[in-house]
Structure 1
């Protein structure tokens, strides 16, 4: 199943995949091609396209498990959004605290 998380994983770790894996996964996730269309484009069987996409996704999830970059990015984005909501409410003390928290997180 295609998900936003898979798209983010591809953005963060796609360059670590083989060219074939990255190309097939980009066609599957970004261009929304079917496995049959990917197979035709890559000159492989539909089963080959399925296996390549499945292996590529497994590899991306493995990278995230080890490195956690997408999770960290998502948390930092959440902190920024929270700070912005405090700024909109003119609650600058809490916004400042949140931004200091983010700064400390980035320094770790």
Structure 2
């Protein structure tokens, strides 16, 4: 099992067995049938990647980034199960094991194309839209201090108390459009901050790759390889 696959298994397990709550290392060890020492080591790695938050005596909980990874893994798994069962004729009992393997080696672009090809049920698309809303709500709970006081209040009513735009507008005695604009600006700030965190992580990964390549190539050659990778990614 590769390191990335193992990491994904941990994130997915926490997501499926704890959701938004914390989970103990003991529960993870028993569920994944690994040693407590292995769990501690992996949790530390996941925390450094920004995928979990680990608190002493409380256990580990997924960050918004961890939730997004887990949701994408579940989505890939379900798409493969649907494809194998409805297009290739495998039984419901057979598809799970295959999907467990395929979900780890499927790029998001391939999953999206496969979903279109098999005409993945519309309710699943609606569910992913709901999960995006949940994701922004999770970002808000982690990074609300970045927002203005008014944005914090409005997003709190919208995401945490599930009030409608009209109800929030009445509370603040402003127009519904005014509430909508404030919420959208707040959401944009949260998503841009999360994007900055991802870019910083990508820069760190590129520097690690550059250092590794420099041991095999000249620094100039290694830097050239990195530049080509950046062009491909962009």
TM range (shorter): 0.5 to 0.7
1:49 alignment partner in structure 2: 179
Describe the superposition over 1:33-57 as per-residue Cα deviations: whole angstroms up to 9, x where unpaired: 0001001111211000010111111
Runs (4+) of structure 1 exceeding 2 A deviation are: none
1:6 equivalent among 119, 136, 139: 136
2:145 alignment partner in structure 1: 15
- The structure whose residues are more often helix, as a share, is 1
* 1:7 Cα offset (Å): 1.5
Which structure: larger Rg? Answer: 2
Give me the CA root mean square deviation: 1.4
1:88 alignment partner in structure 2: none
Equivalenced residue count is 68
The two structures have a TM-score, normalised by structure 1, of 0.59
1:25 equivalent among 137, 155, 164: 155
Describe the superposition over 1:45-78 as per-residue Cα deviations: whole angstroms up to 9, x where unpaired: 100001011111111101100124xxxxxxxxxx
5+ long unaligned stretches in structure 2: 1-128, 199-234
Q: Does 1:39 align with 2:169?
A: yes
SS for the counterpart of 1:15 is helix
* 1:13 Cα offset (Å): 0.8
In structure 1, distance between residues paired with 2:177 and 2:154: 12
The two structures have a TM-score, normalised by structure 2, of 0.28
1:101 alignment partner in structure 2: none
* 1:12 Cα offset (Å): 1.3
